[in-house]
Amino acid sequence: MQLAEFFTSQPNRLWQLAKQMNVNHAVSGLPWEEKLESPWELMPLIRMKQRFADHGLTLSVIESMPPSNHIKLGTEGRDAEIEVFQRFVANMGAAGIPVLCYNFMAQFNWFRTSTTTRTRGGALVSSYDHSLMQGASLTEAGEVSEAQLWENLHYFLERIVPVAEQAGVRLALHPDDPPITPIRGVSRILTSAAALQRAIDLVPSPYSGITMCQGTLATAGEDIPATIRAFAQQGKMFFVHFRDVRGTPEKFEETFHDDGKTDMLQAMRTYYEVGFDGPARPDHVPTMEGEDNANPGYELLGRLFGVGYILGLMEAARAG
């Protein structure tokens, strides 16, 4: 397993702290700070990759996308967005960045009703309560059906998978978070392991697989070791989000890595059992004492705890 962290595209304190913790692989978003070129063009990607290399970090995953809401909704402008997406994937391949973590959540990405839920010792985590959404108004997209989204995903994959194959870029599809449908009238289709399987079977390819987001799939009630084995046996698990939760799709909260409902040592042993050698990162950490929660899920202290905990699990898994 390649222990990774999510970094901003420009150096900050975490870049150096990560190296001190023996993290050698980077996950990043698009370099939106570029002034002269779009962040999905070749040279911004090459420069970002080189910044990481200069700090001893290998940029292994981009976890971000060009604008894609028209693609997901199937509305006017989707073909123009697909052309940009195709260029982006081709440029990733040319820059030597091997994995793209993408999602098919229309209108909004990961979604929470609170980012100030208190957990162990008063630390802050995000949570979701579906009952709070029952009276919520529709978004400007109106009602979006599951059938529409499946059709739009198929249309997209038919046009992007061949580009990924040619570029040598692995497409790692992230499940919908929360794994519940609909939210504000917008359906969510990737709410289970079976749905992820259906998605990657739409346009079969060695370059089309999943992001194994443990937190989302644990929320959905999946057996985490069984899910790891199922996708690993197909060679379809390209990237891992290692986190945990407490609760159900209707009402859940995120937790410290050692305080959720998943047997995390068993999960880690399963990654080693199946021979997973791709990137994995801690995800959605608690905000701890002294932090201002300006970036919920991604403050610094919880990340240090998460990396340390994962390193311990990796050592235990290697020991058998």
Q: Which domains does the chain have, with CATH numbers?
A: 2-319 (3.20.20.150)
Q: Which residues are catalytic?
A: 174, 213, 241, 283-284, 298
Digit-coded pLDDT (tens) for 212-250:
999 999 999 999 999 999 999 999 999 999 999 999 999
Q: What integer is the mean pLDDT of 247-260?
A: 97
Tokens describing residue 40: 């999905």
Residue 163: which of 97, 104, 83 has the closest Cα?
Answer: 83
Report the share of the chain in percent with pLDDT over 70: 100
The answer to whether the pTM exceeds 0.75 is: yes
User: Helices (DSSP H) in 55-180: which residue ranges?
Assistant: 69-73, 78-95, 146-167
What pLDDT does residue 7 have? 98
Distance of CA 275 to the CA centre of its chain: 21
Q: How far apart are the first and last CA of the chain?
A: 15
> Measured between alpha carbons, how far is 76 from 139 in angstroms, rounded to an integer?
17
Digit-coded pLDDT (tens) for 115-168:
999 999 999 999 999 999 998 999 999 999 999 999 999 999 999 999 999 999
> Measured between alpha carbons, how far is 32 from 284 in angstroms, rounded to an integer?
22
In the predicted structure, residue 36 carries a pLDDT above the cut 90 = no
Q: What integer is the mean pLDDT of 248-255?
A: 98
Half-sphere exposure of 22 (CA within 13 A, CB side): 8
